[in-house]
Each structure stands twice: as structure tokens, then as C-alpha cells.
Amino acid sequence: MATPTMDKVAADDAAAASHLITVTFRIRRFNPEVSAEATWEDFQLEIDPKERVLDGLHKIKWELDGSLTFRRSCAHGICGSDAMRINGKNRLACKTLIKDINPAKPITVEPIKGLTVLKDLVVDMEPFFQAYRDVMPFLVTTGNEPTRERLQSAEDRERFDDTTKCILCAACTSSCPVFWNDGQYFGPAAIVNAHRFIFDSRDEAGEQRLEILNDKDGVWRCRTTFNCTDACPRGIEVTKAIQEVKRALITRRY
Amino acid sequence: MSDTTLEKSGVGPVEGASLYDADNPAPVIEAPRKRTAKTPRSTRGNFEMAAWLFMRLSGVVLVVLVITHLLIQLVLDGGVSKIGFAFVAGRWASPFWQVWDLLMLWLAMLHGANGLRTVINDYAERPNTRLWLKGLLYTATVFTILLGTLVIFTFDPNIR
Ligand code: HEM
Ligand code: FES
């Protein structure tokens, strides 16, 4: 029996349903307990195009296949957990809207490259963090601790502002063809985080960090491909930061 | 893959024998500069920086050397058709062009060899492949540089 109220509800439902679209997620699956081979698996879902790839992955994990494995924590582009290769480009699943990546075609989702895949979209981040630790990403000073905070002019702060934005998601490092080879190159993320301290007027270990990055797997392996700058979800000018470290190595010493 | 185990434990059913387990974990990419008794080995010394600088400096010089060389050999004064033994003999009669060609030979060969060295470093995955490719590269480079230098200095325009 069609009362006016029910009509309205039905109409609302129809309106709500109409903006959903059918999208195919083509996901690179790998489970070492099942097979040594990674395979593509397709999932079809109804989703609002204004939702994010991460929402699609959640829908799959929660409603279609609970074994799908991926990392995410904050879901808002802050923690850097969910970098993955979406349609062939490194992005954060939580910052990529479905409507922005051509949902008419299957959306491919793969783990980031150059790091060992542990399961599905989860990779072993240890080599990445090892390179990060190697550049000593902490303030180093000498002398007595000041009783107040360490002051710095606005210009001095501005000098390294760009590289403070890194969330260590590994999108840049795992987009770098030099890193793909043997994983020994420090990689853009470690250099960005060294840059953050090298150009900080309060820090006193710049020379040490420069020497570390003068290593044979340091900044000189950079081929200036700009993949890292393209990949950074925070819009950091990664390649520029690497070149500034190279320039500092040459001009500060000679 | 809907299975009752899924609801209970959140872990999918395992098919076939497991390849890896806790005692036999799957291989992972070795962390760089791993802390062991022997590593990381010190890689001090500025060879990579010198090589990087050399690429840029030699590149700038090569622009002048190579473009002038190409103009003289291939474009000006009748183009390629003029090139012959006499033409080369004529140019090498002057010490200026001898030094020019010598510089071009050394810079281009070292520049090209170092460029290929980085390409090998970037693309050869197995240490053995790297070793052999670089061995081949260095042999060819040394051979070409020495032969070219020998020819420039011992060139005899009256050879029959
Ligand atoms: C004509 C002027 C030239 C300029 C300005 C120039 C400049 C450069 C520079 C700056 C690089 C380094 C690229 C990087 O590290 O990312 C490079 C790489 C390279 N150059 Fe040259 N070069 C010149 C001529 C030559 C010649 C004559 C050869 C061959 C004998 C050559 C072979 C190479 C190779 C094989 C590489 C490595 C490619 C790579 O790293 O991707 N270049 N060149
Ligand atoms: S889930 Fe935290 S950055 Fe995307």
C-alpha cells in the first residue's frame, strides 16, 4: 500500500542508490602459505565514486573476503600506513578518490615495489626504516641544554619546512627505480629526513649526515627521475631536496 | 573463499602444504647496511661524488667538442662526401686537432663508460652479472682508449 510517506522513502532510496557505481577492484593477491606465486583477483562492488580506494578495500575485506590483507591506521593521510600502487602509481589508498582514477576500468591495486611482499598488500618495511635510522633522524646538539626552547628565526624554519611534511609512507622510495634494484640505495625518504635536519639551524650533526649520504649507496645514486616527487602524497619536492643535499656536499666542503 | 573458519578466527583456510613457517621464514630483501660484525663496511672516499661531478663537467665540455666535431665532419664544406684518408690526414697534421680529438676520445669514453657503469649498477640484479658486465665494460673501455690514443700519436700520413 503506497502511502505518501513510503513513497518518499522509496524515492530517497532510489536517489541514494543511483549515485552508486559498479567498480572492479583488481587486486594483487599473495599468500605464501598457499602459493609462491602472486595472482590478480577481481572484486566487483557498488560504491559511491566520491569514496576512497581505502573504503573499497574495507568493503572487500568486511563484506566479500576477510582474508584480504593491507595496512591502514588513521585513514586520513597522516600515519602513512597505506601507500600502495594504485593504477600503476604509488598513492595513499586513503587519499585517492574513486572518481579521480577512472572507475570505468578495473582499478588495479598492488603492493609498493622494491620491498618484500609478506602478504597481499603488506610489505616488509624493515629495509626502508633501516635507511631512515641510518641518517640519524633526530636533533643532535652539543653543550648545555637551554632552559627555554631552542629559538629559531622564521626564515631558518622556512629553510627545511618542506621536508618536515614527510609521513614515512614509502611511496617515494618504492617508486624509485634505483631502489628497486637491490634495496641498498638510501632512497628518497631517508634523504628527505636527513635534509630536514641538515638544513635545521638548531642541529649540529649536518656534517655527519652529509658524510653518511656521501656513501656509495647515498645521494650520488640518484638519477633525477622525479618519480619520488610525483609519488609523494604530501606534495614534498623530493627530488629538489635530494639535489640540495648533493649541492651541500659539494659546496660546503670545497 | 567463504568458510566457517573465516568467521571464527578471521584467518582464511590454508590449502596445500605451507612453504614457509616460523623456523623457515620466507626470504626477505636484506636490510641495507645491516649491523653485523663485518658490515656495514666503510665506503668512505669520494669516488661516487667525483664520478657524479665528472659526468656533469665532461658533459659540458663534450657539448662543445662533439658539436664542433660533427659540424666539421658531417655538415660544413661538402658534408660527409669529403671525408677520406686525405681529409683525416689533413686535420691530424695540426696538433690542435690532435689534442681536440684526444680530449674528445678520453672524455667521451670515460663519460660513456661511467654512464654504463651506473646503468649496470641500476639494472644488473645478481652480483655475478654485475661483475661480468663491468669486466666487459672496463676491458672494452681501456682497449678503445689505448688504441685510439696510439693511433692519434702514431698516425702516419704516408702509410701505403
Ligand atoms: C654531448 C654532450 C653530453 C652531455 C651534456 C652529457 C651529459 C650527461 C649527464 C649529465 C649524465 C648523467 C645523468 C645522470 O647521472 O642522471 C650523462 C649520462 C650518460 N652519458 Fe652523457 N653527456 C654527453 C655526451 C655523451 C656521449 C658522447 C656519450 C657516449 C659516449 C654519453 C653517454 C652517457 C651514458 C651512457 C650515460 C648514462 C645514462 C644514465 O645515467 O642514464 N654521453 N650524460
Ligand atoms: S591510513 Fe594513515 S596515511 Fe592512509
Our mutation pick for probing the ligand 1 site, out of B68, B103, B111, counting the most ligand atoms within 8 A of Cβ, is B111
Q: Are A152 and A218 in contact (CB under 8 A)?
A: no
Mean pLDDT of chain A: 91
State the average pLDDT over residues B65-77.
90
Residue ranges of alpha helices (H) inside B10-94 are 47-70, 85-92
Q: pLDDT value at position B158?
A: 84
Instruction: Report the pocket of ligand 1 as residue ranges, CB < 6 Å.
Output: A 223-224; B 55-56, 59, 62-63, 66, 108, 111-112, 115-116, 118-119
Q: Who wins on pLDDT, A14 or B81?
A: B81
User: Domain holding B111: CATH number?
Assistant: 1.20.1300.10
End-to-end CA distance of chain A: 88
Confidence of residue B37 (pLDDT cuts 50, 70, 90): low
Query: What are the CA-CA distances from residue A223 to residues A185, A218, B60, B121, B137 (Å)?
Result: 12, 12, 18, 12, 20
Identify which of A170, A165, A160 has the alpha carbon closest to the alpha carbon of residue A190: A170
In whole angstroms, what is the distance from residue B47 CA to residue B53 CA?
A: 10
Q: What is the pLDDT of residue B18?
A: 61
**B32 within some domain:** no
A18-123 classified as CATH 1.10.10.10:
no
Quick check: A66 and B122 CB within 8 A?
no
Name the CA radius of gyration of chain B, rounded. 28
Backbone angles phi, psi at A17, to 5 degrees: -70, -30
**ipTM for this prediction:** 0.75
The number of distinct structural domains making up chain B is 1
Domain that holds residue B80: 47-154
Task: Give the mean pLDDT of chain B.
Answer: 82
Quote the radius of gyration of chain A (alpha carbons, Å): 23
Q: What is the mean pLDDT of residues B74-99?
A: 88
Domain borders along chain A are 18-123, 126-141+153-251
Identify the residue whose C-alpha is closest to ligand 1 atom 22.
B59
For position B12, what pLDDT does the model report? 47
* pLDDT higher than 70, residue B51: yes
CATH 1.10.1060.10 applies to domain A126-141+153-251: yes
For residue A247, what are the contacts with CB-CB under 8 A and spacing of at least 6? none
